[in-house]
Amino acid sequence: MPSNKSVSDAPIVQFTNCRILRDHQLQREDLWVREGKILNPEKLFFDEKGSADVQLDCKDSIIAPGFIDVQINGGFGVDFSLASDDFKSGIDLVSQKILSHGVTSFCPTLVTSPPSVYHQVLPQIIVRNGGAHGAGILGAHLEGPFISKEKKGAHPEHCLRTFEAGAFQDLLATYGSLDCVQIVTLAPEMRRSSEVIQELTKRGICVSLGHSVANLYQAEEAVQHGATFITHLFNAMLPFHHRDPGIVGLLTSDKIPAGRRVFYGMISDGIHTNPAALRIAHRAHPEGLVLVTDAIAGMGLAPGRHTLGQQVVEIDGLNTYIAGTKTLSGSVATMDTCVRHFQEATGCSAETALEAASLHPAQLLGIEHKKGTLNYDSDADFLMLNDSLYVQATYIAGEEVWRQDVSGM
């Protein structure tokens, strides 16, 4: 066999008999992996005169980039908004369990909480790569407390805050640290929010608009100052109105700075958004749609009472409510379920559904050079799926970290 050792001693794995999602198309070609990265086979053959050490038959599976969940509040009894001594074991459990949903990277999300919770929890969220131990952690998503009282949703009113004289300093004092923070959701109509958005953006933190009564002008102004995301579109914001479409109007606004794309999260669980609303959003701005679970601690558990930060929530089937009310509070849907529901509701292609959970969140976070695609030299985080988009196996850095137990099917 020709030697490929001049470049690396690491084994080369060739995944054969598969359809790879690359350049927005399922393409019938092989996937080559070495040292956790996707290889360009032409360079391997012609520059290194190398070949595969191991061949794996994928049995005609789809191979797609791993899913990235940028809004997940917990799951399997773990609530990221609750400070505890064993927080690390909780986040480890969730990161391990979501591998079976096809999630290879995520942003642990904290809902509106007292400052003491942020000060305790945030230092325990460590950005890390995924692996056999679980999905990678990209950084925290802080949803609140700088949000609208009128659109607080499941967030506790007594913990909501406004920007006072210090503006950005108020935010820093509330959170304690921004070291591990990837996304902050705030209401753009709040006084002095513009300077806060600019300061966060300057630090490379994604600003998302949500839980808000902003009109379209205020939303456009926030985007001009650097905001790039909308938290769970349609939920916890003013409903679309033809004379002032509010935040929803950003999907077709002509005031977005050149070269900037606005992304928007959607909870495609069949509960939070009517399929017709999902279709409207998708048809208006398909490149911006990012599937999120907004999953809470009750995901993966039996119906009953669970927590979401400071609140008690009740799970009834796929519905989750603040106890004693009909206020929706997060979701118990898994990411792979959201992908399948999105495809079914919109009639979109498998490629489009898969990219809404992989490429788009990676683009939102500016990490599409390493995650969210199967381009050469990107991280070998990928899934094997059947034609119905059920996950059969999950790989991180080219290593299998989860596989469907066929005997138990």
Alpha-carbon distance of 29 to 17, in angstroms, equals 7
pTM of the predicted structure, to 2 decimals = 0.96
Per-residue model confidence (pLDDT) at position 337: 97
Q: What is the tens place of the pLDDT at every residue in 117-156?
A: 999 999 999 999 999 999 999 999 999 999 999 999 999 9
Confidence of residue 2 (pLDDT cuts 50, 70, 90): very low
Active site residue 269: no
Per-residue model confidence (pLDDT) at position 200: 98
β-pairing verdict for 140-143 and 181-186: parallel
Per-residue model confidence (pLDDT) at position 7: 59
Residue 131, number of CB atoms within 10 A of its CB:
16
Per-residue model confidence (pLDDT) at position 139: 98
The reply, when asked if residue 154 is annotated as ligand binding, is yes
The reply, when asked if residue 48 is annotated as ligand binding, is no
Residue type, 119: H
Alpha-carbon distance of 95 to 397, in angstroms, equals 15
The reply, when asked if residue 329 is annotated as ligand binding, is yes
The reply, when asked if residue 232 is annotated as ligand binding, is yes
Nearest of 246, 193, 178 to residue 224 by alpha carbon:
193
Residue type, 172: L
Once rounded to an integer, what is the mean pLDDT over residues 178-189? 98
Alpha-carbon distance of 301 to 282, in angstroms, equals 31
When the pLDDT of each residue in the chain is averaged and rounded to a whole number, the result is: 95
Q: Is the pLDDT of residue 399 over 90?
A: yes
Q: How far apart are the first and last CA of the chain?
A: 40
Query: Start-end ranges of CATH 2.30.40.10 in the chain?
Result: 13-64+373-403
Q: Which two tokens stand for residue 235?
A: 């939920």
Burial 194-228 (b: 16+ CB within 10 A, else e): bebbebbbeeebbbbbbbbbbbbebbbbbbebbbb
Q: Which two tokens stand for residue 299?
A: 């995901």
Over pLDDT 90: what percentage of the chain?
90
Alpha-carbon distance of 383 to 403, in angstroms, equals 10
- Whether 216 and 278 have beta carbons less than 8 Å apart is answered as no
Q: CATH code for 13-64+373-403?
A: 2.30.40.10
Q: What is the tens place of the pLDDT at every residue in 10-48?
A: 899 999 999 999 999 999 999 999 999 999 999 887 887
Q: Candidates 2.30.130.10, 3.40.1160.10, 3.40.50.300, 3.20.20.140; correct CATH number of 69-365?
A: 3.20.20.140
The active-site residue, picked from 294, 336, 379, 381, is 294
The reply, when asked if residue 272 is annotated as ligand binding, is yes
The reply, when asked if residue 73 is annotated as ligand binding, is no
Per-residue model confidence (pLDDT) at position 405: 86
Q: What is the tens place of the pLDDT at every residue in 292-334?
A: 999 999 999 999 999 999 999 999 888 899 999 999 999 999 9
Rg (CA), the chain: 21
Tallying the residues shown for the chain, one arrives at 409
Nearest of 314, 308, 274 to residue 294 by alpha carbon:
308
One-character DSSP codes across 49-104 = ----SEEEEEEEEEEEEPEEEEEE-EETTEETTS--TTHHHHHHHHHHHGGGGTEE
Query: Start-end ranges of CATH 3.20.20.140 in the chain?
Result: 69-365
CA distances from 247 to 201, 244, 258, 391 (A): 19, 9, 19, 34
Per-residue model confidence (pLDDT) at position 409: 45
The reply, when asked if residue 235 is annotated as ligand binding, is yes
- ω into 145 cis (within 30 of 0): yes
Confidence of residue 9 (pLDDT cuts 50, 70, 90): confident
Per-residue model confidence (pLDDT) at position 219: 98
Confidence of residue 3 (pLDDT cuts 50, 70, 90): very low
Q: What is the tens place of the pLDDT at every residue in 41-67?
A: 998 878 877 788 999 999 999 999 999
For 204, which DSSP code?
A: T
Work out whether the CA dihedral 146, 147, 152, 154 comes out positive or negative.
negative
Over pLDDT 70: what percentage of the chain?
97
Residue type, 388: S
The reply, when asked if residue 243 is annotated as ligand binding, is yes
Q: What is the tens place of the pLDDT at every residue in 212-258?
A: 999 999 999 999 999 999 999 999 999 999 999 999 999 999 999 99
Once rounded to an integer, what is the mean pLDDT over residues 192-201? 97
Alpha-carbon distance of 247 to 232, in angstroms, equals 11
Confidence of residue 407 (pLDDT cuts 50, 70, 90): low
